[in-house]
Amino acid sequence: MVLEELLTKKKAQRGPLIIIFLLFPISSISIWLVYHVFPSALSILPLAFITIAFAPLLHWLFITEALGEINAPGFAPSFITRHYPLMLFYIFLFLGIVASYALWFSVLPANEAACDFLDSDGKCFFPTREKVFEEQAQVFTAITGRSITGAAIGFNECKNVATRSIPACFELIFFNNFWVLNLSIILSFLYGAGAVFIVSWNASVIGTFVGTEILEKSPQAGFERFIGYFPHGSFEVLGYFFGAIAGGILSAGIVLARKKRHALEIIIKDAASLLAIAYVFLVIGAIIEAAAIIEPALASQIIAVEILIMVAVAVMLLAKKKAGNPQEFTAK
């Protein structure tokens, strides 16, 4: 109830930036609560608590989104400009979790032996890094190769000079992201807020990478690491967001179809457009990432082209928004 008072529907629509400020206390409380109550699930359960916390708001946003499409259907760009708060919700959710997990990774004691604050039972008062980030650390070692075998995921396809190639690296990256996107769509369709868990998980992994740089080097190095994900990661993450939105509004459309017979047909068309955009974004992201890994010299050119594309898209959407000036639809 407290969260619903702090994050009202009007605040979410008019100023979704509040989400990023609420995420730090929500994620922090979730980590501490799970540490003292469910310590064996410390690396996963806090993300489930975050999902539960934002489920009511996201359900309302999906219903509002679907109503807007039913009453004033339009092609995907107009959909984005008219209902951008839903996209901003996912963006700020993602950024908030990255920041929170990066901070906790860099300040929590590494393990029980490194803890200076013990309770009466001799247990560390603070959650330890090895427990909070246990699952995320496994992903980190698998990707970076910092493991016993020393072999990273995709080593032969993307990093071994003798065997790597852009097509092979692209295929590996794309199909990995492809399954993540499909899972986001399915969870969002079945559960509405289900995709929040997938988004939260990916954000926590990136937070672990950033936190590692902060801990081993400096805050500046952590920030540079995060920026380094932008050229390809922005397309991949936006693809997940579009897929989650498509699944959510399709789910809401099925519910609304019982009262509005034409609703489902309209929603299916819009969801299909958003899914097409999501998969295209995954292709672009995989191409950029594969090219940047195999040919690092292309990185600056890729970033320049990406910035031009994003500026052009932003101008187009802004012009569409000003020209259309669509009215808002809200769910009661």
pLDDT of 332: 46
Q: Nearest to residue 245, comparing CAs of 169, 201, 184, 160?
A: 184
In a domain, 299, yes or no: yes
Phi first, then psi: give them for residue 322, nearest 5 degrees. -65, -35
In a domain, 331, yes or no: no
In a domain, 290, yes or no: yes
Q: Any idea what the Cα angle at residue 153 is, between residues 152 and 158, rounded to 5°?
A: 90
In a domain, 55, yes or no: yes
pLDDT of 98: 92
Mean pLDDT of the chain: 77
- Return the amino acid letter for 145: G
Residue 133 structure tokens: 């980030």
In a domain, 108, yes or no: yes
- The SS3 call for residue 134 is helix
In 33-57, which positions are buried (b, 16+ CB within 10 angstroms) versus exposed (e)? ebbeeeeeebbbbbbbbbbebbeeb
In a domain, 330, yes or no: no
Among the listed ranges 28-37, 110-119, 227-236, 246-255, which one has the minimum average pLDDT value?
110-119
Per-residue pLDDT of 244-286, as tens digits, reads: 888 888 887 787 776 666 667 777 887 888 899 899 999 988 8
Contact (CB, 8 A) for 143 and 153: yes
In a domain, 332, yes or no: no
pLDDT of 266: 74
pLDDT of 328: 44
Per-residue pLDDT of 159-186, as tens digits, reads: 767 777 778 888 888 888 899 899 889 9
pLDDT of 150: 41
pLDDT of 147: 45
Per-residue pLDDT of 43-78, as tens digits, reads: 889 998 888 888 877 777 777 767 766 666 555 455
The boundaries of the domain holding residue 298 are 2-324
What domain count does the chain have?
1
Which tops the pLDDT comparison, 176 or 296?
176
Residue 17 has pLDDT above 80, yes or no: no
pLDDT of 162: 72
0.95 exceeded by pTM: no
Residue 330 has pLDDT above 50, yes or no: no
In a domain, 204, yes or no: yes
> To which H or E segment does residue 220 belong?
helix 219-228
